[in-house]
């Protein structure tokens, strides 16, 4: 017979997953409803959607309408956001493990030979560490104050750039005090990293932000497949590139070239960056093949998570560097706006696998 502590633990975990699903559904549906300007789906297109998804359950037309309106391209294979977050993501990503394992403080253990930003210090629980050495708060500040700028990140729950802060010494009257104020407001584990110097061809797109690629991979039958790649570019004068924090996303072709349009969070699109004036279409990203090779290798280190969204920067010397591994809940909308249906011709195969369980 199951003991009471075990029962309570299982109930807690089930509640955690249920609340997560409800929040993602509320977020995705509300966002698409708010940013949709008009209903563009024809009755014939609705029939195609209904027929394609008939064996997987009833779907709302809200999501297909959003992607069709914003891109001008219809496909019945667009994956509805709620189905992605509440079914596909739940199927491919172990939600109980992610609650504990998705922590940037442990990336050096999880991805031991994958190049990452230089970590200066971490806070795990209420203890500060420089590498493996336990340090005091003042010693941590001494280490940080040797730098000109640092990224302070929530080690967990940092989606959308909300848990990332760039602190630059030149912009602070008191650098030490500024660091103290930032970390004192974070109630989860913390990672403080040296700023990445990105490759000049990435910096040209927007020099104030580190512009990272978001690459989505799926691990099936012992093989890793890349399903979608985009680059996230910061808005003018922005310090971060996040799509949901005002940045923009552009699709990347298999040979590392940018597609024609950059999309904003609300679905609006442009063909050139507003500050650099660079036209996106055909812009060649250097060392894209190295980034793909790196994430394919890294995915085998986290096999409990069959679908991972990787954030990758290209360092000034051309080396790909892992900025973040989104082990669960990587955004779907930036992929489908920039590149069309997330799983392309594999959509039915993916859905059959998910709904067969």
Dist. CA 160–CA 245, nearest whole Å? 6
Match 């996303």 to its residue by tokens: 249
Dist. CA 239–CA 95, nearest whole Å? 31
Dist. CA 143–CA 146, nearest whole Å? 6
Given this model, what pLDDT does residue 163 score? 80
What are 186's two structure tokens? 């974070």
Q: How many CB atoms lie within 10 A of CB 170?
A: 7
Positive or negative, the CA dihedral 299, 301, 303, 307 is negative
pLDDT per residue over 293-340, tens digit each? 999 999 999 999 999 999 999 999 999 999 999 998 788 999 999 999
Given this model, what pLDDT does residue 330 score? 84
What are 301's two structure tokens? 């280190």
Given this model, what pLDDT does residue 244 score? 64
- 247 and 339 Cβ atoms separated by less than 8 Å: no
Given this model, what pLDDT does residue 3 score? 65
How distant, in Å, are the alpha carbons of 139, 174, 248, 271 from that of 73? Answer: 56, 52, 19, 17
pLDDT in tens, the chain (357 residues): 556 655 555 554 555 555 666 666 666 667 788 888 899 999 999 999 999 999 998 899 999 999 999 999 999 999 999 899 889 998 998 887 887 788 999 999 999 999 999 999 999 999 999 999 999 999 999 999 999 999 999 998 766 555 889 999 999 999 999 999 999 999 999 999 999 999 999 999 999 999 999 999 999 999 999 999 999 999 887 777 666 667 899 999 999 999 999 999 999 999 999 988 899 999 999 999 999 999 999 999 999 999 999 999 999 999 999 999 999 878 899 999 999 999 999 999 999 999 986
Positive or negative, the CA dihedral 98, 99, 102, 105 is negative
> How many Å from the N-terminal Cα to the C-terminal Cα in the chain?
27
Q: How many CB atoms lie within 10 A of CB 197?
A: 12
Please state the domain extents for the chain: 4-93, 97-113+198-327, 119-194
pLDDT per residue over 47-87, tens digit each? 999 999 999 988 999 999 999 999 999 999 999 998 998 89
Whole-structure pTM value: 0.91
What topology does CATH give the domain 97-113+198-327? D-amino Acid Aminotransferase; Chain A, domain 1 (3.30.470)
- 232 and 242 Cβ atoms separated by less than 8 Å: yes
- 219 and 300 Cβ atoms separated by less than 8 Å: yes
Bridge-based pairing state of the strands 307-314 and 269-270: unpaired
How distant, in Å, are the alpha carbons of 40, 47, 73, 76 from that of 44? Answer: 11, 5, 15, 11
Q: Is 103 exposed, middle or buried (0-12, 13-18, 19+ CB in 10 A)?
A: buried
Given this model, what pLDDT does residue 26 score? 65
Dist. CA 122–CA 128, nearest whole Å? 6
Beta strands (DSSP E) in 162-300 are 164-168, 190-194, 212-220, 223-233, 248-252, 258-263, 269-270
């Amino acid at each position: 017979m199951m003991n009471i502590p075990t029962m309570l633990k299982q109930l807690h975990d089930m509640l955690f997953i249920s609340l997560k699903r409800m929040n993602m559904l509320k977020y995705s549906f509300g966002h698409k409803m708010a940013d949709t300007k008009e209903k563009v789906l024809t009755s014939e297109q609705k029939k195609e959607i209904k027929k394609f998804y008939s064996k997987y359950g009833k779907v709302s037309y809200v999501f297909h309408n959003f992607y069709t309106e914003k891109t001008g391209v219809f496909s019945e294979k667009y994956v509805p956001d709620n189905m992605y977050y509440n079914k596909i993501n739940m199927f491919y990503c172990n939600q109980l493990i992610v609650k504990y394992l998705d922590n940037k403080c442990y990336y050096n253990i999880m991805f031991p030979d994958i190049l990452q930003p230089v970590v200066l210090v971490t806070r795990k629980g209420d203890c500060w560490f420089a590498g493996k050495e336990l340090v005091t708060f003042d010693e941590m500040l001494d280490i940080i104050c040797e730098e000109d700028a640092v990224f302070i990140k929530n080690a967990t729950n940092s989606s959308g750039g909300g848990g990332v802060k760039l602190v630059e010494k030149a912009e602070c009257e008191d650098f030490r005090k500024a660091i103290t104020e930032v970390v004192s407001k974070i109630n989860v584990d913390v990672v403080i990293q040296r700023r990445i110097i990105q490759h000049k061809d990435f910096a040209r797109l927007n020099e104030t932000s580190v512009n990272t690629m978001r690459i989505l991979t799926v691990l099936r039958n012992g093989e890793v497949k890349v399903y979608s790649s985009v680059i996230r570019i910061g808005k003018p004068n922005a310090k971060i590139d996040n799509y949901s924090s005002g940045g923009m996303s552009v699709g990347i072709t298999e040979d590392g070239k940018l597609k024609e349009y950059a999309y904003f969070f609300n679905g609006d699109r442009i063909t050139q960056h507003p500050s650099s004036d660079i036209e996106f279409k055909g812009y060649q990203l250097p060392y894209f093949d190295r980034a793909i090779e790196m994430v394919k290798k890294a995915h085998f280190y986290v096999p409990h998570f069959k679908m991972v969204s990787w954030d990758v920067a290209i360092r000034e010397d051309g080396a790909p560097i892992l900025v973040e591994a989104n082990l669960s809940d990587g955004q779907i909308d930036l992929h489908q706006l920039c590149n069309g249906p997330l799983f392309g011709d594999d959509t039915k195969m993916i859905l059959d696998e998910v709904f067969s369980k």
